[in-house]
Amino acid sequence: MGFTGAKTVDADRRRGRGVSFNPDNRFEGTVREFIDDGWEADDDLPPIRTEVQTERPRKVITKNTSPDLSFDRSINPYRGCEHGCVYCFARPSHAYLGLSPGLDFETRLIARPDAPVVLEKELASKRYNVKLIAMGTNTDPYQPVEKEMQITRRILQVLAAHQHPVGIVTKGTLIERDIDILGEMGRAGLARVGISVTTLDPALSRRMEPRCPAPARRLRTIERLVKAGCPVRVMASPMIPGLTDHELEEILSAAKDAGATAASYIMLRLPHEVSELFRDWLGEHYPDRAGRVMARVREAHGGKDYDPQWGKRLRGEGVGAELLSQRFKVVSTRLGLNRDLPPLRTDLFRVPEKAGDQLSFF
């Protein structure tokens, strides 16, 4: 059951969740305000459980024209993400579903089990023009619910059958389950993976991204993927000024030791409701530095919590952002991570023959 409004949910009810409340949906015309009348107490209510509903999409390949992105199409098997990362820039997308970007985003998920079948049809179209498909661009394709639903794995099986290039971004070590597919595709120049490592501090990680694997475990995933033949980029993202940015060099060094062949970073982004959620989280977990962190965040975004301008939103601006950029250049160069991974192959793409198709003479 959904609940909205700026009311902090009791810590025991939201144990293992990233945020403490559900902000109102910005598209709703009314605002809800909670008033304690003494009749209902949070300690009488059960813990918040994850709910999963299904959606039958007509299309699964989403196109974009963003000049900040290196891809123009993506697939998201799920809406919402149980990992519960407090800083997740995708949280506001839940508002389009009539849900809250807060606790709803990490507890009321939408799965798309028919996505592999729909994808097969889209790729078989005579009008289809092959380019890299990105996964994990909005929510994590290897969040916990994937273990049972296996939508991501079935999508990869379709892409592998078509010899279609794919790039994946994840924090989930469940990706190791699909090493049999990704290793073969990686060796053929058809797959690469970005593993997000936000901090090496397990305590901070548990508070900030409560249902993600521990940082050390993610480094082990990098090692296993690379050993199987799938190239991996470490993504030190997001870098949070005054909280995690001092770890940049350590993160890249640890990833290099694990076998990563490239690196990138993104400055913390706080669009729409994420700003309120993050400030609340800082006040709860790091009250002694909350003001300093937010001051540095605003410094990197032109005095605001977030600036969505192209060319600025991912890297920020100002002295702090420039210093972070220079540090990244120095350490990535020293470690040999300052390079782009080679482009994935598109020339191998083919449409598998189906029963009844006319066989080719060549």
In a domain, 32, yes or no: no
Domain presence at residue 119? yes
CB 85 within 8 A of CB 27: no
Q: Which of 143, 170, 141, 171 is nearest to 156 (CA)?
A: 141
- Whether 298 is covered by a domain: the verdict is yes
Confidence of residue 362 (pLDDT cuts 50, 70, 90): very low
Average pLDDT value for residue range 67-91: 92
What CATH number is attached to the domain comprising 157?
3.80.30.30
Give residue 2's pLDDT. 44
Section 278-300 average pLDDT: 96
pLDDT confidence band for 82 (50 / 70 / 90): very high
pLDDT of 361 above 50: no
Question: How much is the pLDDT for 116?
Answer: 97
Range of the domain at 140: 52-335
pLDDT at 4: 46
For 167-225, write each residue's pLDDT tens digit.
999 999 999 999 999 999 999 999 999 999 999 999 999 999 999 999 999 999 999 99
| Mean pLDDT (the chain, rounded) | 91
Within-domain flag for 352:
no
Q: Kindly indicate the confidence band of residue 33, based on its pLDDT and cuts at 50, 70 and 90.
A: low
Per-residue H/E/C for 170-198: ECCHHHHHHHHHHHHHHHCCCEEEEEECC
**DSSP letters spanning 209-238:** STTSPPHHHHHHHHHHHHHHT--EEEEEEE
Pull the structure tokens for residue 327.
């540090």
**Residue 43: inside a domain:** no
**What confidence score (pLDDT) does residue 354 get?**
66
pLDDT-derived band at 31 (thresholds 50, 70, 90) equals low
Report if residue 206 sits inside a domain. yes
| Assigned domain for 9 exists | no
Q: What is the CA radius of gyration of the chain?
A: 21
pLDDT in the model for residue 30: 56
Say which residues have a Cβ less than 8 Å from residue 361's Cβ, sequence separation at least 6. none
Residue 292 in domain = yes
Q: How many domains does the chain have?
A: 1
Is residue 65 very low, low, confident or very high in pLDDT (cuts 50, 70, 90)? Answer: confident
pLDDT digits (tens, 9 = 90+) for 305-325: 988 887 777 888 999 999 999
Which of 15-29, 263-277, 312-326: highest mean pLDDT?
A: 263-277
User: DSSP for 96-155?
Assistant: GGTS-TTHHHHHEEEE-TTHHHHHHHHHHSTT----PEEESSSS-TTSTTHHHH-HHHHH
- pLDDT tens string 216-256: 999 999 999 999 999 999 999 999 999 999 999 999 999 99
Model pLDDT, residue 46: 81
- Give the per-residue pLDDT at 64: 83
**Residue 195: per-residue pLDDT:** 98
pLDDT at 38: 57
Whole-number Cα distances in Å, 59 to 15, 90, 109, 110, 128: 36, 20, 19, 15, 13
Average pLDDT over residues 281-288: 96
> DSSP secondary-structure letter at 12?
T
